[in-house]
Structure 1
Amino acid sequence: MIHPTDSVEHLAKRLGIGPSQVTEAEGKLAALGLIRSSPGGGWVAISPESAADELLGPAEQDILRKRIAMAATRARLHALTGDYLEARSMRSTRSNIEIIQGLHNVLAVIDDLARTATKSIDVFIPGTLSETGIRSAERLDLETLARGVMLRTMLQHSARKKPGAAQYAATITAAGAQVRSITSLPARLLIYDRNCAVLPLDPEVTGRGVALVRDPAVLSFVQRLFDHYWARALVFSEAEPDSGPAPTGVDREVLLLMASGKKNETIAHQLGMSVRSVSRIVSALLERLDADSRFQAGVRAAQNGWLS
C-alpha cells in the first residue's frame, strides 16, 4: 500500500516508473482536484464526487444564472408580440406601397414575411443565386414548407447548369415546393399570401432597396404576370427540350417574324419570298419544336434561346 507522505522517489520505486512520471501524474490529479496537499506533508486523496462539485460548481452556477437571464429576456420579448402584430397591421393598412432601403432592413422584412405567410409564396429568381443567397433562401423555404405553406419558385434555365442552384431546387422540391424554369425572367419578385409583393426599386441595380406593394390593383397585375410565366415554364426536374441547333439565315428570319405574330403572307412580303416557301419553313420549325401551334412554337423557341 502506498502512503500519502511517500516521496516521489519512493512512489516511483514502488510503482516501477520514473520520478518524472510520478510528478506528472500528481500534477494531473491535483488539477482535477482529486488530490490536495496536506499540512503534514504529502497528499490527501479527494473523492471524485467532491472534486467534481468543487471544480464544476462555479461553472454550473454561471450557466444557471445565464439561463435565468435568457428566460427572463425571452419572456420580455414574447410579451411584445401583441404590440408588434398591432403595429404591423397598422403599417399594412396605412400605406399600400412601402419603400424599404438598406440590405439588413430588406432581409429582415423578407424574413418576417416568410415566417408569417400562411398560404402561399410565389418567387421569381432571375440570374443565379450566390452561395450565401442559396443557404439563406433554402433555410427560409424549408421552414415555410414545414408549416404547410405552398411555395412556387421560378428559376432561369441557366440555373440548371449551376450545381448550387440545382441542388437548392432539388432540396426544396423534395420538401414539397414546386420549381420551374424559363429562359428569362423580368426581375426579382416575391408574392406572399397573394396580398403583399416585394419588388426591386431598380431591377438593374442590386441593393437599391425594395417596394412592399399591397395595392389590390398592382397585386392583381403582378400575380397575373407570375401566373403567365409559370404556365409557360418547364418543371425544373425535367430535361430541357433538345430541338437541335438554333436556326440560321432565312429560317431564323422567318422564326423571328412568326414569333412576333406575323402571318405567312406578311412574312413572305417582308422577306421577298413566296407564301409556299414560308409555309414550308414554318411547318419545319413547328416540327423541330414539337409544337402544335405558332404560339407554342414561339414559347419553345424562347425557351431554347433562339429568339435572343
Structure 2
Amino acid sequence: MHTRLRELCGRAAKECRIFSSSYVQLPNSVEQGNQWERVVAERGISIRAVHQDSFRGDSAELGAARWLAALGGRIRTVPVLPTPMALVDEHVALVPLDPEDATRGALELNGHEAVAALRTIFEHFWVTATPWDEPAQRDGEGLSPRERDLLRLLASGFTDESMCRKLGISLRTVRRAVADLMARLGAHSRFEAGVQAVRCGWL
C-alpha cells in the first residue's frame, strides 16, 4: 500500500488526505528529507492527516508531525479511526484489504462518485478531530474522547485485547483506563459499569 500511496501522492494536483499514522516516515534530518511528503508539500499540495490519539505518546511520530507541520502539513487526532486510507485529490482512494495489516495489499478506487462516501467520512473525522499540538479536551462529564470511545467499546462487549487493537494503545493502558472508569462509576463489574454509564448519561 505504501508504494502505491507514494506514486499517487506524487501525482496529486491539489490535496492528499490520510487516515492513520503509518504513512509518515521521519527523515534523519530536514536536510535529508527527500521523502514524498517533502516533494508533495514543496509543490504546494495540501496534506491533511488524521491519526489516532495513541500517536501522541510516540516520540518518533510526534517528531514526524513537527517535521511535516513545518512543511505546511496539517495533522489532527481522534480516539479511533475506522480504517487506514488515503484520498488523493477528489477522485482516487486507497484502502487496505485488511485494516489491521496494510502489507496484505490495498483496493484502489477511481472516480469522483466512487470515492464520495470516503471523502464524507474523512471530512466528518477532520472537523471533530483535535489538532495534534493541542491537548485533547474533556467533555461535560470530564471524559476525554478516548475514555468516551473506551466506554462505548466496553459496553459493546469488546475484550481488553480487542480494545487495545482498536484504540492503538497497550493492553496495560486499556486495563488501567477501564479500572479507572469503573472506579469513577462506582462499579464492581463491566456489566455494572455499562449500566452506571447509561444512568450517568455517559453513554
Q: Per the shorter chain, which TM-score range? A: 0.5 to 0.7
Distance 1:237 1:138 in 2: 24
Distance 1:119 1:158 in 2: 29
Amino-acid identity (%)? 20
Distance 1:162 1:184 in 2: 16
Distance 1:169 1:240 in 2: 16
**Partner in structure 2 of residue 28 of structure 1:** none
Q: Are 1:173 and 2:69 matched, yes or no?
A: yes
Three-state SS of the structure 2 residue aligned to 1:134 is coil
C-alpha contact 1:138 1:168 (8 A) present in aligned 2: no
Paired residues for 1:239-254 under 5 Å = 239-241=135-137, 243=142, 246=181, 247-248=184-185, 249=187, 252-254=194-196
C-alpha contact 2:98 2:104 (8 A) present in aligned 1: yes
Q: Are 1:135 and 2:26 matched, yes or no?
A: yes
Distance 1:199 1:187 in 2: 8
Over aligned residues, Cα RMSD in angstroms?
Answer: 2.6
Question: With CA pairs under 8 Å and 6+ residues apart, which has the higher RCO, 1 or 2?
Answer: 2
Deviations 1:4-33 (A, max 9, x none): xxxxxxxxxxxxxxxxxxxxxxxxxxxxxx
Q: CA 1:108–1:204 in 2, change beyond 3 Å: closer, same or farther? A: closer
TM-score, L = length of structure 2:
0.65
Q: CA 1:107–1:156 in 2, change beyond 3 Å: closer, same or farther? A: closer
**Partner in structure 2 of residue 121 of structure 1:** 16
Amino acid at match of 1:111: R
Distance 2:15 2:39 in 1: 13
C-alpha contact 2:17 2:87 (8 A) present in aligned 1: yes
**Partner in structure 2 of residue 198 of structure 1:** 94
Q: CA 1:200–1:138 in 2, change beyond 3 Å: closer, same or farther? A: farther
Unaligned runs of 5+ in 2: 28-32, 144-179
Q: Are 1:145 and 2:41 matched, yes or no?
A: yes
Three-state SS of the structure 2 residue aligned to 1:217 is coil
Paired residues for 1:1-308 under 5 Å = 106-125=1-20, 129=22, 134-135=25-26, 139-241=35-137, 243=142, 246=181, 247-248=184-185, 249=187, 252-255=194-197, 257=198, 278=199, 281-282=200-201
Amino acid at match of 1:234: T
Q: CA 1:252–1:241 in 2, change beyond 3 Å: closer, same or farther? A: farther
Three-state SS of the structure 1 residue aligned to 2:35 is helix
Shift in Å at residue 216 of structure 1? Answer: 3.3
Higher fraction of helix = 1
Amino acid at match of 1:161: G
C-alpha contact 2:16 2:86 (8 A) present in aligned 1: yes
C-alpha contact 1:138 1:172 (8 A) present in aligned 2: no
Shift in Å at residue 141 of structure 1? Answer: 1.4
Amino acid at match of 1:214: N
Aligned residues: 152
Q: CA 1:158–1:189 in 2, change beyond 3 Å: closer, same or farther? A: same
Deviations 1:82-102 (A, max 9, x none): xxxxxxxxxxxxxxxxxxxxx
Shift in Å at residue 225 of structure 1? Answer: 0.8
Distance 1:187 1:134 in 2: 19
Unaligned runs of 5+ in 1: 1-105, 258-277, 286-297, 299-308
Shift in Å at residue 138 of structure 1? Answer: 8.2
Deviations 1:139-182 (A, max 9, x none): 22122111111111011111100000111111111211110000
C-alpha contact 2:92 2:108 (8 A) present in aligned 1: yes
Q: CA 1:201–1:138 in 2, change beyond 3 Å: closer, same or farther? A: farther
TM-score, L = length of structure 1:
0.44
Deviations 1:81-132 (A, max 9, x none): xxxxxxxxxxxxxxxxxxxxxxxxx444222211111100100016xx49xx
**Partner in structure 2 of residue 88 of structure 1:** none
